[in-house]
Amino acid sequence: MAVLLFATMPDTPRLHLPIRPRRLRRNASIRALVRETHLAPAHLIQPVFITDSGDSEPIPSLPGIERVPLRQLAGHCRMLRDLGLGGVALFPRTDPMLKTEDGREALNPETLVLRATRIIKAATPEFPVFNDIALDPYTTHGHDGVLNEAGTDVDNDATVEILARMAVLHAAAGADFVSPSDMMDGRVGAIRAALDTAGHSATGIMAYSAKYASAYYGPFRDAVGSSRATGAPPISKATYQLDPANRLEALREVAMDEAEGADIVMVKPAGPCLDIIRETRSVTRLPVAAYQVSGEYAQIHAAARLGWLDLQSTRDESLLAIRRAGADLILSYFAQFWAADQAHGTPPFST
């Protein structure tokens, strides 16, 4: 305060400061010159929800995001590719009639997401497609795997066997990467072995390695319909997803997935885990992905809708922070909107 008061007086005593960091912030050009972190559309992967119904379906808790019907999918992916995005991550909304306790629809060779994959690879063959490997879109209970006999927990080894078969179907349909999001022990190694045995040694694995049991997945579960009936409490995935209190455990998971043959490791959610992204970046030489999840997107939209935050600048800062933390790739629902703004020449952080 004192300094400010002095500054307004005629005989302001000048501070003898040889080091003045503000010299590098004087104007937009100088700030651009010394900017340390850059984000490009190619770093971003757009999650895409798919529906078997004829029309696109808005998702109220994910403003601006709609489930895309198959007949619009080719055009939609051409648009995303033309924005320069790095790829798409596919998530099906399974017809509730097809859901079962054991999620067997996941192994139907004609299941929605496999038909979608073939459509995309025919329309935009060079555009990378990442297919989620987990059973939650297919099970009546919404868990990522099959339950044990007592129905008290997800059965690890039985689930891994199913996921390995599922991954082979996705590779055969043309997925460039399969992305196990289930957090079962040993699934990356089992999937790698199954892919190789089936002749899919070129198909990559982007492993959800440090995936936390997060409260931020709510809108996603609305989008794929994997939460319990409306009003019921959300299911807990705490016996397989990481405890948000833990850091070392995340690094163990990253090391395991790398040793089992993952090509890309992922941290999720992103904003609440910037420390984990930074540590992961420093312990592996693999590309590191971070997933800015549905709840992170929804909370920025909600605050903007209330007039409490500016949507575009908060969005831009949230993505940049994830990249600064060390993410090479970012999965984000904002991807297409951010990329479209770049294409229209809105310079990020221009003031």
d(CA 188, CA 176): 16
Which region among 94-102, 156-164, 217-225, 250-258 touches ligand PBG (by CB under 6 A)? 217-225
What residues contact 251, with CB distance under 8 A and at least 6 apart?
A: 210, 279, 280, 283
CB of 71 to ligand PBG, least distance (A): 25
Contact call for residue 94 and ligand PBG (CB under 6 A)? no
User: What is the Cα 159 distance to its own chain's centre?
Assistant: 22
Cβ closest to ligand PBG, residue 218 vs residue 287: 218
Nearest partner of 63 among 309, 225, 294, 347, judged by Cα:
294
Torsion, Cα of 138, 140, 143, 147 (10° steps): -110
Nearest partner of 77 among 122, 111, 110, judged by Cα:
122
Numbers of helices and strands, H then E, in the chain: 12, 10
Contact call for residue 134 and ligand PBG (CB under 6 A)? yes
- From the list 99, 121, 211, 237, the catalytic residue is 211
- 128 prior amide bond cis, ω within 30: no
268 part of the active site? yes
Cβ closest to ligand PBG, residue 144 vs residue 253: 144
Contact call for residue 139 and ligand PBG (CB under 6 A)? no
Determine which residue in the list 81, 221, 301, 315 makes contact with ligand PBG, applying CB under 6 A. Answer: 221
Tokens of 157: 């080894």
CB of 28 to ligand PBG, least distance (A): 34
Determine which residue in the list 294, 318, 332, 336 makes contact with ligand PBG, applying CB under 6 A. Answer: 294
Cβ closest to ligand PBG, residue 74 vs residue 235: 235
Cβ closest to ligand PBG, residue 329 vs residue 348: 329
Contact call for residue 217 and ligand PBG (CB under 6 A)? yes
Nearest partner of 44 among 275, 316, 274, 277, judged by Cα:
316
CB of 272 to ligand PBG, least distance (A): 12
Question: Where do contacts with ligand PBG occur on this chain (CB under 6 A)?
Answer: 132, 134, 136, 144, 181-182, 217, 220-221, 237, 293-294
Query: Could you give the residue numbers annotated as active site?
Result: 211, 268
